[in-house]
Structure 1
Amino acid sequence: MAGMTPPVRVLVVDDDALVRAGLTMMLDGAPGITVVGEAADGDEVPAMADAHAPDVVLMDLRMPRVDGLTATRRLRARQRPPEVIVLTTFDTDENILYALRAGASGFLLKDTPPARIAEAVRQVAAGEPILSPRVTRRLMDRARVHAGAHARARAALAALSPRERDVAVAIAQGRSNTEIAGALNMTLATVKSHVSHILTKLDLDNRTQVALLAHDAGLA
């Protein structure tokens, strides 16, 4: 019908056929979501993305030929990349950070309830990153980064204006654009403009990477 929001188009990538089938069945039954394709390995992802133009890719990490991190980096390098949610059983600090730095907009564990996975797909498609609560705790509990990374993060953030820096810190605190607008006495349009400038100045793909940089700099 005219005026209706089109469904979020999802590509499911996992080398386990049963997992793919389960995710496809669950997501196809969720409001506002349609699964447009399935891939069994990371090397199939570029062709599937070309054929089906997904908005969101649910990406497994460990696959036999091309792993999820490599596939994510390749997707995010495209001119109009889809968002990527890593969905895995492996929640080591290295996997979490590597996935987020590769450009993933979310990191969920495979024991996440189905309704939460569907909500995460809709949230990421709308431009809001998502992490499972357990992953968030691991990141918050992670030891302070080495001095070199700390210095590099500080130097990068020095390119921001004071107001952009405030917005970057608020992003790292997990605040939405609406919450940032209220906390910093800005309009929503101004916050969105600042976020866009931050991503451009820092050459980052998404808000999650801004949050990681601010954490590395010790600002949040």
Structure 2
Amino acid sequence: MYKVVIADDRQLIRAGLHMLLDSCGLYIVAGEASDGNEAVSQSLALVPDLLLTDLKMPGQCIIEGVRILKERLPNIKIIILTAFDESEDIYRACKAGVDGYLMKDTSPETILSTIQEVMKGTSMFQPKENKLYWTRENLL
């Protein structure tokens, strides 16, 4: 079982992701956060295997949070689930060490399969414009 922290400023999104992760029996949602500061502090306190986070939330910039988390928790996997697909955001996230980048309109099945691949060590980036996965090597 993988321990997960979910971070999104919308409670409905957090609840939906919690239900999705509970449905497959491979994940334990250890914590939830509603802003960037909470995402970092919850992750540092709970030491999850995965942080599933929105890109743009109140509080600390999640990209800077990713840098902090990757430095202090080198084994953590981080997937951004967002509505923003600007190439600069994707590039910045990749440079910071994010392991995955998905759009919020992604199907639940694809979210789960992406999480599984990321947990195996594969980087998965899905820009909205073509719905094809990129790897970190393709982006950098």
TM-score range relative to shorter protein: 0.7 to 0.9
Normalising by structure 1, what TM-score?
0.58
Other-structure match for 1:13: 7
Q: What's the CA shift for 1:138?
A: 8.4
Is 1:70 aligned with 2:64?
Answer: yes
For the residues of structure 1 that align with 2:109 and 2:131, how far apart are their CA atoms?
23
Larger helix share, 1 or 2: 1
For the residues of structure 2 that align with 1:42 and 1:134, how far apart are their CA atoms?
23
The one-character-per-residue Cα deviations of 1:175-205 (angstroms, maximum 9, x if unpaired) are xxxxxxxxxxxxxxxxxxxxxxxxxxxxxxx
The one-character-per-residue Cα deviations of 1:128-177 (angstroms, maximum 9, x if unpaired) are 11122636x4899xxxxxxxxxxxxxxxxxxxxxxxxxxxxxxxxx7xxx
Secondary structure of residue in 1 paired with 2:121? coil
Q: What's the CA shift for 1:126?
A: 1.0
Give the gaps of 5 or more residues in structure 2. none
Structure with larger RCO (C-alpha < 8 A, sep 6+)? 2
Larger strand share, 1 or 2: 2
Give the gaps of 5 or more residues in structure 1. 1-6, 141-173, 175-206, 214-220
Is 1:212 aligned with 2:125?
Answer: no
Is 1:80 aligned with 2:96?
Answer: no
Q: State how many pairs are aligned.
A: 140
Q: What's the CA shift for 1:46?
A: 3.1
Larger Rg: 1
Kept in 2, the 8 Å contact 1:27–1:33? The answer is: yes
Is 1:56 aligned with 2:50?
Answer: yes
Residue 28 of structure 1 aligns with an amino acid whose one-letter code is D
Other-structure match for 2:84: 90
For the residues of structure 1 that align with 2:108 and 2:88, how far apart are their CA atoms?
25
Kept in 2, the 8 Å contact 1:105–1:124? The answer is: yes
Secondary structure of residue in 2 paired with 1:134? coil
Other-structure match for 2:101: 107
Give aligned-pair identity as a percent. 37
